[in-house]
Amino acid sequence: MSGRPLVRVESLSRRFDVSPPWLDRVIGRKPRRVLGAVVDVSFEIPQGGVYALVGESGSGKSTIAKMVVGLLPPSEGAVEIEGAGPAAARDRGAVQMIFQDPHSSLNPRWKVRDIIAEPARARGRDTDGLAERLLELVGLFAEDAGRHPHEFSGGQRQRISIARALASEPRLIVADEPTSALDVSVQAQVINLMSDLREAHGLTYLFISHDLTVVEHVADTIGVLYLGRLVEEAGSDELFADPRHPYTRMLLAAAPRIDGRREGAAPPPAGEIPDPADPPSGCVFHPRCPIAVERCRREVPRMRDVRGVRVACHLAE
């Protein structure tokens, strides 16, 4: 990745204690269980870049997003935004988040004017006419400021969420599945809006998605997550043209195309994601991998550079 990094994520991990209640552990002799939601993830995002994290449900995407914006503390590792921690960046409005469901993320009792202006008001900034200007910026009307969220469609509510995120003049926007709750026709409109705002305002995005067809059109760099581990990282063009990790190849093969066919000859990923509280030995993908060898079962692959692509696979070459 080129450019001075705006965001640096270093050796980020997050564990959750999912043990049975204390009495069950004592009487029933049930062991303590610790779930590794994110394990030793590192990446950087340059100013003005779009970095996408993709993977199946349960891969750790949203957990990383919450740690980047400071809503969840890491168990290990660190996040830096412009050289500061997430909490400091959030306090000064440098980072904002767009959530998956625009219905539940907007206060139904507030008028749109108050929803949008709140991030700026909380930082003591002038909010006179702010909501109206931002509504027009995201393709709505100034008079919509006096309405309530339930009066809008899903796509319009997501535009309101984007306007709210812009109110504090952020450098980084973390978008957690921002189009997954929308109709396909509306998804393209929201993606185009986010791209236009990036160009006009120099925004940087961390884009969380399970939809590779969306990611292909928005991301400069893509990180592929499996069971909380980053298994491949490459430029968007490189990853779609020549994926190196077997899991990435399977994801791409399973991704639907506009014509209804699927790319490549590999089948969709077989089986289920293993229990993150009891991950497999060696490479965590080996139980589902069609090319796994004995080394994969016993040795954890390290992220390394293979012809300009970072990949965690013993057989990447």
228 contact partners, CB below 8 Å, separation of at least 6: 14, 36, 37, 38, 39, 41, 59, 60, 63, 276
Instruction: List beta partners, residue 235.
Output: 221
Per-residue pLDDT tens digits for 290-313? 999 999 999 999 999 998 899 999
Per-residue pLDDT tens digits for 188-203? 899 999 999 999 999 9
**Confidence category of residue 259, pLDDT binned at 50, 70, 90:** very low
Count of helix runs (H) and strand runs (E) in the chain: 11, 11
Give the CA distances from residue 20 to residues 23, 35, 63, 148, 227, in Å, rounded to whole numbers and listed in that order. 8, 12, 22, 43, 22
**Arithmetic mean of pLDDT, 275-295:** 93
**Confidence category of residue 107, pLDDT binned at 50, 70, 90:** very high
pLDDT at 41 over 50: yes
In the prediction, which pLDDT does 287 show? 94
End-to-end CA gap in the chain: 21
d(CA 119, CA 133): 15
The tokens for 277 are 């509280």
Please say whether the beta carbons of 223 and 53 come within 8 A.
Answer: yes
**Arithmetic mean of pLDDT, 233-237:** 96
pLDDT at 263 over 80: no
pLDDT at 26 over 80: no
**Confidence category of residue 3, pLDDT binned at 50, 70, 90:** low
E-strand ranges in 141-279 read 172-176, 204-209, 221-226, 229-235
pLDDT at 257 over 50: yes
DSSP string, 241-287: HS--SHHHHHHHHHSBPTTS-BSSSPPPPPS-PPPTTSPPSSSTTGG
d(CA 206, CA 195): 13
E-strand ranges in 82-235 read 95-98, 172-176, 204-209, 221-226, 229-235
d(CA 116, CA 23): 47
In the prediction, which pLDDT does 183 show? 85
**Confidence category of residue 19, pLDDT binned at 50, 70, 90:** confident
- Residue 136, number of CB atoms within 10 A of its CB: 14
- CA torsion 109-110-116-118 (nearest 10°) is -110
Give the CA distances from residue 184 to residues 49, 62, 155, 203, 220, in Å, rounded to whole numbers and listed in that order. 25, 22, 10, 24, 22
**Confidence category of residue 2, pLDDT binned at 50, 70, 90:** very low
In the prediction, which pLDDT does 125 show? 86
d(CA 135, CA 112): 9
In the prediction, which pLDDT does 213 show? 84
The residue that leads in pLDDT, 271 or 217, is 217
pLDDT at 265 over 50: no
Please say whether the beta carbons of 13 and 36 come within 8 A.
Answer: yes
Q: Is 0.85 topped by the overall pTM?
A: yes
- What's the mean pLDDT when you consider all of the chain? 90
pLDDT at 267 over 60: no
d(CA 172, CA 14): 22
In the prediction, which pLDDT does 230 show? 97
192 contact partners, CB below 8 Å, separation of at least 6: none
The residue that leads in pLDDT, 270 or 232, is 232
Domains identified in the chain and CATH numbers = 7-94+170-311 (3.40.50.300)
In the prediction, which pLDDT does 39 show? 97
Per-residue pLDDT tens digits for 85-102? 998 998 888 999 998 887
In the prediction, which pLDDT does 256 show? 66
Per-residue pLDDT tens digits for 149-186? 999 999 999 999 999 999 999 999 999 999 887 888 88
